[in-house]
Structure 1
């Protein structure tokens, strides 16, 4: 693990391998540890940077306004990397897309795995699924909230917890406990959003884009992957990964790694 000062914050990252640069951007319920199955698989051909976004994992959170897409561009500049491919899962996918729109000269390609998109709104169906699966959770009960998010996102609406590897559930719970602490801290800091947001600008993504999702994830996530693929000019939509929830790189590393090896420049 290394740390580097970027835009006034000390960001934590792992830097592994040699070759064309690739940055791995974690989900909002996780940190850079979720990429433990990808780093070595890609490092034989790529310089792999696994980043903790500001406030997450071991990255700092100074009390000053910031934008994740500017942090990422600043990280590349600080590391002497002119351009890199970005691989993002969930929230990390949204950061990847925002960076490609705000700093297109920095991005060679995007691989989006169950990606969110800034400006997108979840459907009433997704909210109803939460109500039916989870219901009310005390916002001050952090372990209960972590358990609820793991049930909703990692297990998914179409599976039972007993259908999923218990070690994955335990690790996801550990990741989410730390991510919830990050979210609480981030709520006191001004985060600058991309303006206008990415949801209306997907046609501006002029680099190669790979899109997929977990087949056991929320239907909204798969539909959003369809939209990205339809609107980004150079996008390729892979079929959803069978028996995978929202953290598909962690749950199903073999097909994800194979797709990334085939796609990344």
Structure 2
């Protein structure tokens, strides 16, 4: 795995394939390994890059005071260092919030956006009581002995996690850094990016699991109403981590969308 130095932060990434650039941004409690089914399948047509965000995977720890804007600037630096822009940029869950922040600050690097099971920040997409409950639950989980993120957290999948990916989920959970999770929770709870949505002009794919209870379809509909040039694709019978629960259908939707806008 290669890396890019952004200030004092080392940002690792995996790269595969050739063709139009497709940059993948993972969710919280994960790292770039969550995109393995996409790297394997889409590399035949695209240059696929999956980063490990600062504080995750093989990237260095989060510096003190790191912000959502800092995540976006690091993502921009990866795209620029690899000379990929403008790129198709996809983010799932927390990763979609980072992608939105990238678009806010560096829209010229974004050819299209793929927002999967995501939020305009928790504050921007969920009722206040739900945000408070999530923060409380996550803080309790991280404060428990071992402080380990639970990759089978209720709501991440429509049913049980796909058996073939359980070892991967466990491996990523073992590597979660409590400092990173705590910082992301604080950012997600306070982030409200609804003001940005009407200003998005690039083609945007909204890719959602029908049974996602973490970011329900009502959130997807709000995105669709606010983003003028958007298309909603719903994956039947699928939960929040849609790229692992239904990788073939997820990849097909991404491939079709990006191919039409290469």
Q: TM-score range by the shorter chain?
A: 0.7 to 0.9
Secondary structure of the corresponding residue to residue 60 of structure 1? coil
- For 2:54, the equivalent position in structure 1 comes to 54
Kept in 1: contact 2:120–2:191 (CA 8 A): no
Q: Is 1:174 aligned to residue 171 of structure 2? A: yes
Secondary structure of the corresponding residue to residue 201 of structure 2? coil
What is the CA–CA distance in structure 1 between the aligned matches of 2:97 and 2:141, rounded to whole Å? 28
What is the CA–CA distance in structure 1 between the aligned matches of 2:19 and 2:82, rounded to whole Å? 14
Secondary structure of the corresponding residue to residue 216 of structure 2? helix
Secondary structure of the corresponding residue to residue 120 of structure 1? helix
Q: Is 1:236 aligned to residue 239 of structure 2? A: no
Kept in 1: contact 2:88–2:113 (CA 8 A): yes
Per-residue CA shift, 1:173-197, capped at 9, x if unaligned?
Answer: 432342353525747xx97x9x994
- 1:16–1:168 CA distance, 2 compared to 1 (3 A): closer
Quote how far apart the aligned CAs of 1:101 are.
Answer: 1.7
Kept in 2: contact 1:116–1:221 (CA 8 A): no
CA RMSD between the two structures: 3.1
Q: Any stretches of 5+ residues in structure 1 without a counterpart?
A: none
Number of corresponding residues: 252
Within the candidate set 120, 126, 129, 1:122 is matched to 126
1:126-165 correspondence runs (5 A): 126=130, 137=140, 139-141=142-144, 146-147=149-150, 150-156=152-158, 159=159, 161=160, 164-165=161-162
Quote how far apart the aligned CAs of 1:129 are.
Answer: 8.6
Quote how far apart the aligned CAs of 1:42 are.
Answer: 1.3
Kept in 2: contact 1:11–1:53 (CA 8 A): yes
Quote how far apart the aligned CAs of 1:90 are.
Answer: 0.3
Kept in 1: contact 2:30–2:173 (CA 8 A): yes
- For 2:250, the equivalent position in structure 1 comes to 256
- For 2:201, the equivalent position in structure 1 comes to 206
TM-score, structure 1 as length reference:
0.82
Kept in 2: contact 1:30–1:176 (CA 8 A): yes
- For 1:31, the equivalent position in structure 2 comes to 31
Secondary structure of the corresponding residue to residue 57 of structure 2? coil
Quote how far apart the aligned CAs of 1:50 are.
Answer: 0.5
TM-score, structure 2 as length reference:
0.83
Secondary structure of the corresponding residue to residue 229 of structure 1? helix
- 1:144–1:79 CA distance, 2 compared to 1 (3 A): closer
What is the CA–CA distance in structure 2 between the aligned matches of 1:129 and 1:259, rounded to whole Å? 33
What is the CA–CA distance in structure 2 between the aligned matches of 1:144 and 1:62, rounded to whole Å? 18
Secondary structure of the corresponding residue to residue 217 of structure 1? coil
Quote how far apart the aligned CAs of 1:204 are.
Answer: 0.7
Kept in 1: contact 2:119–2:215 (CA 8 A): no
Secondary structure of the corresponding residue to residue 146 of structure 1? coil
Quote how far apart the aligned CAs of 1:126 are.
Answer: 4.4
Q: Is 1:75 aligned to residue 69 of structure 2? A: no
Kept in 1: contact 2:30–2:172 (CA 8 A): yes
Kept in 2: contact 1:24–1:88 (CA 8 A): yes
- 1:247–1:138 CA distance, 2 compared to 1 (3 A): closer
Kept in 2: contact 1:214–1:245 (CA 8 A): yes
